[in-house]
Amino acid sequence: MSDRRRLLGTLSTLLLAAFVVGAVATADPPAADRARAIGIRVKCPVCARETIFDSQAGIAQDMMALVRERIAQGATDEEIIDELLAGYPGSSLLDPPLSPATVLLWAVPGLALAAGVVLGFGRRRRPTYDVPLESSSR
């Protein structure tokens, strides 16, 4: 009978563990994590190369406060980002999505690399042949 109890205990523990893992995996991220995830995607409008999450500028802190407020109200991440980009001139996404307006932005690094490769191979030195000079003996 003790083997049966041990087996039952093991099975119930495994089922409980599976339930907990499933609940954690499918749960919404905490509000602080969502706020951080949004904040690191949006560039501060007044700081050079800083996100609104990392910036100490007043406008960035206001933007993060808006992010937290909108999360509490139940807005989606995209709604919040759209509101930030529309409401704060100069703010932009640090990793803009591929669209007809940003295709050149995404293509320039690849085009620069291809141009470098073409120029590098085009400038290869052609082999030179050493031709002995005729010595003039007079």
pLDDT at 3: 82
Structure tokens at 100: 């007809």
Domain 14-97 has what CATH class? mainly alpha
Tokens for 123?
Answer: 């400038």
Bridge partners (DSSP) listed for residue 93 = 42
Compute the distance between CA of residue 67 and CA of residue 75 in angstroms, rounded to an integer.
9
**Helices 31-39 & 58-72 angle (0-180, nearest 10):** 140
Measured between alpha carbons, how far is 130 from 88 in angstroms, rounded to an integer?
A: 68
From first to last of the 138 residues of the chain, give the pLDDT tens digit. 578 888 777 878 878 777 777 766 665 567 789 999 999 999 998 887 899 999 999 999 999 999 999 999 999 999 999 999 999 888 888 877 777 777 777 788 888 888 888 887 777 666 666 666 666 555
Query: In the chain, what are the domain boundaries?
Result: 14-97
